[in-house]
Copies of this chain bind each other. A is one copy, B any other.
């Protein structure tokens, strides 16, 4: 993506409250650069003119991208390989009169080593109340660890309570986790989760529809929830009060045709009321362990229970590369020395093949160890 195009996307990301159907249509018809240009020149239909009235001359694209670059993040759009088309496909089947927010984002601001597309191919959203009980946090950690063990990524919203417990447990089990923020990537929210979100950005993915500097609002939380639901092949509600954000995410998941699961708890606990209501109302399947979530996903037909190694590109490898590729573990990571032992090659001879595998996107280096790419 050239810098002019990139700036146009960044401008479009800020010029109206996302998601905006009219901007999406204009971009689709004329491209991002022309769309940005026309919005700047006020050469747009009255509705879009109104939607962009307040911010059309606030062009902070350069600064936003500079902040993103400093953080080591990236701006992705439907033109990128990493764009999660599959996750967003479901928005097309939602009745937009009922749910005007049911649109793909225009751009995503992303930070982290994982590839959004690959990660969300095999992921579950775990959500719940900020007022989690110790029972709820324990159960969340149990589910997150169980999912990670099955090579499933854990998506959540970075909040206190269940969200935080889900991210933490996924990280602790060396699994992939995605935090979808309702603020800019440089505005960790809640502030008390700065360190946790930093770790998510280093080892998993931080994702936001909002440009740097954006502070979260209630509207943004609800808009964000649609992405949490879209990214998870299933959504698990662990604890939820009577009216909760988790119930909103569950409603999004249902609207998107995703499986909704809920964990029961003591009927004497107000933090489980929302879960029991979802189950009673036939809106969620009762689950008691991670394997049941994976089973539910399997039934939905969206998802094969076990991932196969990438076979398509193995044909392109030379002998040494293939040998080293085969020496990478199915799960977890290995040091260069361990790979050398497994490959039956001198350690010095595995480095070049590893570099080639990395360039081909088939192996990933992580903290000095190597693993198969999840692609």
Q: Which of B138, B280, B287 contacts A268 (CB 8 A)?
A: B138
Please measure, in the bound complex, the distance between the C-alpha atom of A264 and the C-alpha atom of B285, giving whole angstroms: 13
A contact residues, total (Cβ < 8 Å): 20
> Is the CB of A263 closer than 8 A to any CB of chain B?
yes
Mark A236-280 against chain B: 1 for CB-CB distance below 8 A, else 0: 000000000000000000000000000111111000110010011
Q: Is the interface of A mostly helix, strand, loop or mixed?
A: mixed
How many copies make up the complex?
2
A353 smallest CB distance to B (angstroms): 46
Interface string of A115-153 (1 = CB under 8 A from B): 000000000000000000001001100000000000000
Task: Assess whether A286 is interfacial by the CB under 8 Å rule.
Answer: yes
The answer to whether B280 touches A139 (Cβ under 8 A) is: no
Chain B proximity of A46: nearest CB distance (Å):
51
For residue A280, which residues in chain B have a CB less than 8 angstroms away from its CB?
Answer: 285-288, 292
CA distance A157 to B227 in the complex (A): 51
Please, which residues of chain B bring their CB within 8 A of the CB of A289?
A: 267
Task: Assess the B268–A139 pair: CB atoms within 8 A.
Answer: yes
Contact of A288 among B138, B276, B285 (CB under 8 A): B276
Bound complex: CA of A217 vs CA of B273, how far in Å?
A: 41
In-complex Cβ contact of A266 among B266, B279, B285 (8 A): B266
Inter-chain CA distance A263–B269, complex, in Å, is: 13
Task: Report chain B residues within 8 Å CB of A272.
Answer: 264
Chain A residues near B (Cβ < 8 Å): 135, 138-139, 263-268, 272-273, 276, 279-280, 285-289, 292
New contact pairs (19) apart from A264-B266, A266-B266, A273-B288, CB-CB < 8 Å: A135-B268, A138-B268, A139-B267, A139-B268, A263-B267, A264-B264, A264-B267, A264-B276, A264-B279, A265-B266, A265-B267, A267-B289, A276-B286, A279-B279, A279-B286, A280-B285, A280-B287, A280-B288, A286-B286
A to B CB contacts below 8 Å, 28 in the list: A135-B268, A138-B268, A139-B267, A139-B268, A263-B267, A264-B264, A264-B265, A264-B266, A264-B267, A264-B272, A264-B276, A264-B279, A264-B286, A265-B267, A266-B266, A267-B288, A267-B289, A273-B288, A276-B286, A276-B288, A279-B279, A279-B286, A280-B285, A280-B286, A280-B287, A280-B288, A280-B292, A286-B286
Which 9 A-B pairs rank lowest in CB-CB distance, beginning with the nearest?
A: A264-B264, A267-B288, A279-B286, A280-B286, A276-B288, A266-B266, A265-B266, A135-B266, A276-B286
